[in-house]
């Protein structure tokens, strides 16, 4: 039987999502919890490979097993996992379902705060400098006019296409002055969101008009050259919020009374 496992985590102390030799990752911790509970080998496939320090409200693994899982196993796994990783759901799926390739869209947010806050030190980017909200809003709209995001993909990325279908991108100001960038797309490139946010922030801090910032932002995208973008944005402000699938693909396991 094939199962999807949804997980949430704070990525601060992990070397990313995907398993790596000799390093603690989200995948290594979840694999270890499954093998501790069931005392058999598990091979996990992940839906989205978040980098070191990136967090997730929702991400997925899939795996095959002869064991019939129930909702009770979610409680058991969470009792084994460290406090910064949680299993949020177990779903039985068709044997051909794939948590990466069947995903229809992914949603991320990036959190920025202006004043020192010890509770956000590992969960956002402290950026105390003045910014033009008008420029940020305009650049988010411009972003959705494009499909090729070569400029926002880090080098040495092996992909067949740099095209992404961004369906939503906007900035939101929270009541306490925090800034959040929200973006939704069918797929993302390696480093893409941090490159977009860093480039937008650089332009929103410059002394220029909205039209000038827009022209500069378009020139970065149209150059299709990652050296034109700003990838210095720290990982700690990035959150994977949702991974969405076609209706009916996920069926939550039932509780075993």
Question: Would you say residue 163 lies in a domain?
Answer: yes
SS3 223: helix
Same domain? 87 vs 27: yes
Domain count, the chain: 2
Largest CA distance in the chain: 64
Average pLDDT over the chain, rounded to an integer: 94
Distance between CA atoms of residues 205 and 129, nearest Å: 8
pLDDT confidence of residue 255: 64
Range of the domain at 75: 2-102+245-252
Whether 181 and 237 have beta carbons less than 8 Å apart is answered as no
Residue with tokens 């992404």: 164
pLDDT confidence of residue 177: 83
Q: For the whole prediction, is pTM greater than 0.85?
A: yes
Which one is catalytic: 21, 51, 102, 122? 51
CATH of the domain at 63: 3.30.70.580
CB-based burial label for 208 (10 Å; 0-12, 13-18, 19+): middle
Annotation says 225 is catalytic:
no
Same domain? 129 vs 227: yes
Same domain? 142 vs 60: no
> Which structure tokens are listed for 179?
């800034």
pLDDT confidence of residue 257: 46
Ranges in the chain, pLDDT < 70: 255-257
pLDDT confidence of residue 20: 83
Same domain? 227 vs 132: yes
pLDDT confidence of residue 251: 84
Same domain? 96 vs 133: no
Same domain? 207 vs 148: yes
Whether 84 and 12 have beta carbons less than 8 Å apart is answered as yes
Closest of 106, 104, 185, 176 to residue 140, by C-alpha: 185
Task: Give percent of the chain with pLDDT exceeding 70.
Answer: 99
Question: Would you say residue 38 lies in a domain?
Answer: yes
Same domain? 130 vs 60: no
CATH of the domain at 212: 3.30.70.660
Whether 1 and 12 have beta carbons less than 8 Å apart is answered as no
């Amino acid at each position: 039987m094939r199962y999807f496992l949804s997980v949430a985590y704070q990525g601060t102390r992990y070397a990313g999502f995907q398993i790596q030799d000799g390093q603690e990752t989200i995948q290594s911790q979840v694999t270890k919890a499954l093998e501790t509970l069931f005392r058999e080998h598990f091979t996990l496939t992940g839906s989205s490979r978040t980098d070191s320090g990136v967090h997730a409200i929702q991400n997925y693994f899939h795996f095959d097993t002869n064991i019939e899982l129930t909702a009770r196993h979610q409680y058991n796994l969470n009792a084994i996992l460290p406090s910064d990783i949680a299993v949020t759901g177990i779903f039985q799926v068709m044997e051909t379902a794939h948590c990466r390739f069947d995903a229809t869209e992914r949603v991320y947010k990036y959190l920025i705060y202006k004043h020192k806050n010890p509770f956000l030190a590992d969960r956002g980017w402290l950026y105390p400098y003045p910014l033009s909200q008008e420029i940020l809003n305009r650049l988010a709209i411009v972003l959705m006019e494009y499909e090729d995001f070569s400029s926002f993909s880090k080098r040495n990325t092996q992909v067949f296409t740099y095209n992404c279908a961004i369906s939503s991108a906007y900035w939101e100001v929270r009541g306490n002055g925090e800034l959040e960038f929200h973006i939704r797309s069918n797929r993302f490139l390696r480093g893409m969101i941090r490159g977009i946010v860093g480039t937008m922030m650089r332009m929103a801090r410059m002394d220029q008009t909205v039209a000038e910032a827009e022209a500069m932002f378009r020139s970065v995208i149209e150059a299709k050259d990652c050296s034109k973008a700003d990838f210095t944005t720290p990982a700690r402000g990035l959150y994977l919020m949702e991974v969405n699938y076609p209706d009916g693909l996920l069926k939550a396991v039932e509780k075993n009374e």
